[in-house]
Amino acid sequence: MPNEDREFEKERLKRLDRRLRTFCNCSATFFQVESEAEALQSICAALVEGDDFRMAWIGYCEDDAERTIRPVAKAGVGLDFLERVKNSWGTTEVGEAPPGIAARTGKPCWINDISTEPAAAGWATVAAEAGYISCIALPLIVHDRRGKVIDLRGILNLYSGEREYFDASTVDHYASLASCLTHAVAAFRGHLAEDLTSGVRSLRATEQRKRAEEALQKAQAELASASRLTMMAQ
């Protein structure tokens, strides 16, 4: 294998290793926090600790005249970005940023080069000052096994300092994380875990806890495999 191909593969494996470690940290967080607010803030913090993202924030959709997406948790660098750039889930120009589109469509929306994206012209300069090059917005909405929609009317937003960061597998990975977060928050609100009212503030003894534990075990197995591959590639 040529040296440049070997270096590319090593970098890819390192990124996979970081991604899976972050997923494991986020999954473990769901069993440690005791409130919705703590869960949201802890997830944002875990996502920026892995160095893949410069900033992570979560916003909830408001029903005010401007249809504001209100930040409720944030972590990383350049946090004043959220004060300088307003987000809306309405159909105005402000609502054409990824958070607004994701909120309206219920699907992930991402930009792999903010500097060249016409829809980002109004906030590209502010993003560049914060070191944001690519970004993704992930709606906090899932369907349970009975087909019931769980919609938090919220958006998980991630900003990377790398160009072309989001490919299909990356989008699927963080969409899965957004789904786990949605289930966890819904449990705190009492939609999925009846025992929360008796003081048990995790997903204990519920189907959702079982599913989350299975996802964590799978992620840990993938992490171990990725770590072995990384060591072999060095």
Question: Tell me: the pLDDT tens digits for 105-157?
Answer: 999 999 999 999 999 999 999 999 999 999 999 999 998 777 789 999 999 99
Q: Quick one: pLDDT band at residue 208, thresholds 50, 70, 90? A: low
Short-list 161, 160, 158, CA closest to 181? 158
Measured CA to CA, the distance from residue 160 to residue 231 in angstroms comes to: 26
CATH top class, domain 3-233: alpha beta
Query: At 143, is the secondary structure helix, strand, or coil?
Result: strand
Query: At 177, is the secondary structure helix, strand, or coil?
Result: helix
By CB atoms closer than 10 A (0-12, 13-18, 19+), residue 154 is buried
Helices (H), 30-72: 36-49
What pTM value is reported for the model?
A: 0.78
Q: Quick one: pLDDT band at residue 5, thresholds 50, 70, 90? A: low
Structure tokens at 107: 């699907």
Q: Which amino acid is at 129?
A: E
Q: Which whole number is the average pLDDT over 89-115?
A: 96
Domain residue limits, the chain: 3-233
